[in-house]
């Protein structure tokens, strides 16, 4: 739903969050049975935890599933008369300051009165959307506890400030992502939280698949794509030997995009991959040597 703002000539694409849908099929190549798993979980209303390193395609997967689940064949949401072709997707990026009211909703002052505004979670619950909490461990622990009643058989959301409980629409699914390696020990997910989800583990795809992804996303030719994928693989080999985290598919795509724009491959990889991944000069040097071996 596009609403041109009054008084300006620019046109924004603006949606109410529960009305945002993925219209086009997001490009996604399944690596294993993750699509089937997610579909099954959705049917059975089991919340899903997506684990995996950064930039390996978790978010893309959720977008893809949102699109896929909306298709007639697999549509399970009875609340399907909203005209769209996919299940709405509400993404909440979690951060340290994310409070309960940020998720559930809060009263706002409006003139002399106050007005209740639903938070994204409440809206998802009402609309039967997939609520995707990205990087859940970043959220404060007291916030995380809030989702507990939604994730078990009860499927309800207590709205404390209004003294209400809200039952979830059948199409609602809570989904969150979590990157096990990178957070500090302090920020680990509580057992009581994580044991409410089925987990799907993601990792970077193997060379051929990743090359296809890179090729599709960045538009480079297959040779460059496979080289980038090769680079990704080699850089990931360095994890724990000087690198905290290997290079993500996302970074490889960025490199691909730069190459597509005419930047020399070695330089593109240096900017997108090497400097993106580490500040350590020696590690940088090693990675640059790998790059200069792979790219002419």
Does position 85 bind another protein by CB under 8 A?
Answer: no
The one among 44, 109, 262, 279 contacting another protein by CB under 8 A: 109
140 lines the binding site for another protein (CB under 8 A)? no
Phi, psi of 276 (to 5 degrees): -70, -30
Q: Is 267 in the site for another protein (CB under 8 A)?
A: no
Residue 106 interacts with another protein (CB under 8 A)? yes
CB 86 within 8 Å of CB 93: no
DSSP codes of every residue in 237-293: HTBTTTBSS---HHHHHHHHHHHHTT--HHHHHIIIIIHHH---HHHHHHHHHHHHH
- The secondary structure element, H or E, covering residue 118 is strand 113-118
Among the residue ranges 126-134, 145-153, 248-256, 280-288, the one whose residues contact another protein (CB under 8 A): 280-288
Q: Count the Cβ atoms, other than its own, within 10 Å of residue 95.
A: 13
d(CA 53, CA 241): 17
Per CB under 8 A, 81 contacts another protein: no
Q: Which of 235, 251, 259, 274 binds another protein (CB under 8 A)?
A: 235
Check residue 37 for interaction with another protein (CB under 8 A). Answer: no
- 139 lies in the binding site for another protein (CB under 8 A): no
Of the candidate residues 230, 251, 253, 258, the single one contacting another protein (CB under 8 A): 230
Selected range binding another protein among 46-54, 70-78, 99-107, 165-173, rule: CB under 8 A: 99-107
| Packing angle of the helix pair 207-218, 222-237 (nearest 10 deg) | 130
Q: Which of 90, 238, 252, 274 contacts another protein by CB under 8 A?
A: 238
Binding site for another protein (CB under 8 A): 99, 101, 106, 108-109, 227, 230, 233-235, 237-238, 241-242, 266, 282-283, 285-287, 289-296
């Amino acid at each position: 739903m596009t609403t041109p703002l009054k008084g300006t000539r620019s046109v924004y694409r603006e949606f109410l969050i529960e009305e945002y849908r993925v219209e086009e099929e997001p490009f996604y190549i399944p690596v294993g049975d993750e699509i089937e798993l997610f579909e099954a979980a959705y049917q059975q209303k089991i919340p899903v935890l997506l684990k995996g390193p950064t930039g390996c395609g978790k978010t893309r997967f959720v977008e893809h599933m949102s699109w896929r689940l909306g298709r007639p064949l697999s549509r399970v949401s009875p609340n399907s008369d909203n005209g769209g072709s996919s299940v709405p997707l509400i993404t909440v990026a979690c951060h340290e300051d994310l409070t309960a009211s940020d998720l559930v909703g809060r009263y706002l002052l409006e003139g002399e009165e106050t007005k209740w505004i639903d938070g994204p979670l409440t809206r998802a619950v009402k609309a039967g959307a997939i609520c995707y909490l990205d990087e859940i461990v970043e959220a404060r622990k007291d916030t995380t506890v809030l989702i507990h009643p939604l994730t078990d058989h009860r499927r309800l959301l207590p709205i404390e400030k209004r003294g209400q409980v809200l039952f979830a629409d059948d199409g609602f699914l809570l989904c969150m992502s979590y990157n096990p390696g990178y957070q500090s020990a302090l920020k680990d997910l509580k057992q009581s939280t994580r044991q409410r989800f089925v987990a799907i583990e993601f990792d970077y795809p193997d060379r051929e698949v990743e090359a296809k992804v890179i090729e599709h996303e960045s538009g480079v030719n297959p040779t460059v794509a496979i080289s980038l994928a090769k680079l990704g693989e080699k850089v990931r080999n360095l994890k724990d030997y000087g690198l905290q985290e290997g290079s993500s598919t996302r970074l490889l795509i960025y490199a691909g995009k730069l190459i597509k724009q005419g930047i020399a491959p070695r330089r593109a990889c240096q900017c997108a991959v090497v400097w993106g991944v580490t500040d350590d000069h020696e590690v940088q040097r090693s990675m640059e040597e790998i790059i200069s071996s792979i790219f002419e």
